[in-house]
Amino acid sequence: MSRGALIVVEGLDKSGKTTQIKNCLQILRRDGFDVCQLSFPDRTTSIGQLISSFLRGETVLDDRVVHLLFSANRWEKWKEIKERLMAGTTILVDRYAYSGVAYTASKGYDWDWCLGPDKGLIAPDLVIYLSASSKVLETRSGYGQERYENQLFQNRVSETFEKLVTHKWLRISSDRPIEEVTHHMIPPIRNIIDSCQNGALPLGTLWT
């Protein structure tokens, strides 16, 4: 069945995910593709506002509660994601369940417990991992404004992300000019959109 593709962009804080998604959307739309963007956390919902307040350091919450809220924030978008994909729209997602696992497991919580709440979410057709050294990231504007934006923790998250990366992920270094990164992202995105449009890829679920 013809459908849109679910494409996730992951990476550390300030690795350029948001900028790259914006650039890719612009190019893909110019070329006639039906594409849209989602971001997690989605700070517009009531769950998302609670998460946002926690990230700004205004609310104290148990780490496990936060983990479950991040997952609930994805589940509340599950139906919309499925419907949009089935309607033929490709979705570029700024962070997904991989960030959930990478950040909570980096605090020392049990791996399987971290995976649990997102089990059954729609699996992305492609994950693009923007890698960058934490030294470069901390020089980027806005770094340090939110919880987790410190080099020690980011190094730990980076190590945890490495445990999640599979051969199917596309790793792109973002330690280079913005346009160059975009240039590397577009061809694989077009390929995966083609495969989904041709009905070659059935929808999968996490974590299979």
What residues line the site for ligand FDM (CB under 6 A)? 13, 40-41, 55, 70, 95, 99-100, 103, 148
The least distance separating ligand FDM from the CB of residue 123, rounded to whole angstroms, comes to: 16
Residue closer to ligand FDM (CB basis): 16 or 33: 16
DSSP state of 5: -
Residue closer to ligand FDM (CB basis): 1 or 152: 152
The least distance separating ligand FDM from the CB of residue 113, rounded to whole angstroms, comes to: 14
Give, in order, the Cα–Cα distances in Å from 30 to each of 40, 51, 91.
Answer: 25, 34, 16
The least distance separating ligand FDM from the CB of residue 104, rounded to whole angstroms, comes to: 6
* 33: nearest Cα among 190, 192, 195, 204: 190
The least distance separating ligand FDM from the CB of residue 31, rounded to whole angstroms, comes to: 26
Residue closer to ligand FDM (CB basis): 34 or 116: 116
* Full DSSP string of 101-154: HHHHHTTT--HHHHHGGGTTSEEPSEEEEEE--HHHHTTSTTTTSSTT-SHHHH
Cα–Cα dist 9/39, whole Å: 10
The least distance separating ligand FDM from the CB of residue 47, rounded to whole angstroms, comes to: 12
Residue closer to ligand FDM (CB basis): 31 or 159: 159
Residue closer to ligand FDM (CB basis): 201 or 206: 206
DSSP state of 95: S
Cα–Cα dist 13/11, whole Å: 7
